[in-house]
């Protein structure tokens, strides 16, 4: 099989070489960005953070994090309609990320645990899934919840 490569423009990374096989399709887009369907995940070196970069709009890139890195007991049920949409057959198909919001005061950095990004890594299909789950806040403050003694 020939691996198709394409060069994607990215405001954060400049020119980004993308294997076609790494492109993740969000059929419904991402809330507020419904028109963008194709994304790629880029890893930051030596960092728990990753990027969800649109390949259709170089200006659209979300900082994301593996929620289990910050909240090991994070868990939720994936609804039947999502299992079907993403063609998820087993747990090994699934990767979960959460979008990170970094305000001007970076100590107030927060993670959206309420609406995780669920990806079928084998079929390369993704969705931002809205949980109506009281346990997980839309704004989970990263540093307030870390074990540090840093003064606020």
Residue 14 Cα distances to 9, 43, 65, 150, angstroms? 6, 14, 21, 35
Among 21, 27, 75, 81, binds another protein (CB under 8 A): 81
- Check binding of 17 to another protein (CB under 8 A): no
- Check binding of 89 to another protein (CB under 8 A): no
If binding means CB under 8 A, how many residues of this protein chain bind another protein? 41
Tokens of 132: 């109506």
Q: How far is the CB of 4 from another protein (least distance, A)?
A: 27
Residues 123-152 that bind another protein (CB under 8 A): 128, 130, 132, 138-139, 143, 146-150
Angle 38-115-35 from CA coordinates, rounded to 5°: 30
Q: How far is the CB of 145 from another protein (least distance, A)?
A: 12
**For the CA atoms of 129, 120, 27, 81, what is the dihedral angle to 10 degrees?**
-60
State CA 93 to chain mean position distance. Answer: 15
Of 119, 116, 120, 139, the C-alpha closest to 128 is 116
Name the one range near another protein by CB under 8 A: 1-9, 13-21, 69-77, 112-120.
112-120
- Check binding of 92 to another protein (CB under 8 A): no
Q: How far is the CB of 113 from another protein (least distance, A)?
A: 11
């Amino acid at each position: 099989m020939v691996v198709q490569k394409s060069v994607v423009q990215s405001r954060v990374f400049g020119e980004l070489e993308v294997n076609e096989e790494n492109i993740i399709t969000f059929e419904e887009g991402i809330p507020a960005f419904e028109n963008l369907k194709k994304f790629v995940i880029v890893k930051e070196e030596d960092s728990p953070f990753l990027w969800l970069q649109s390949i259709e709009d170089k200006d659209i890139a979300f900082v994301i994090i593996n929620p289990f890195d910050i909240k090991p007991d994070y868990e939720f049920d994936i609804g039947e309609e999502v299992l079907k949409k993403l063609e998820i057959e087993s747990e090994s198909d699934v990767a979960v990320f959460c979008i990170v919001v970094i305000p001007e005061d970076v100590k107030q950095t927060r993670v959206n645990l309420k609406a995780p990004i669920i990806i079928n890594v084998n079929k390369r299909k993704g969705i931002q899934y809205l949980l109506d789950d009281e346990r997980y806040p839309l704004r989970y403050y990263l540093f307030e919840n870390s074990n540090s003694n840093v003064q606020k």
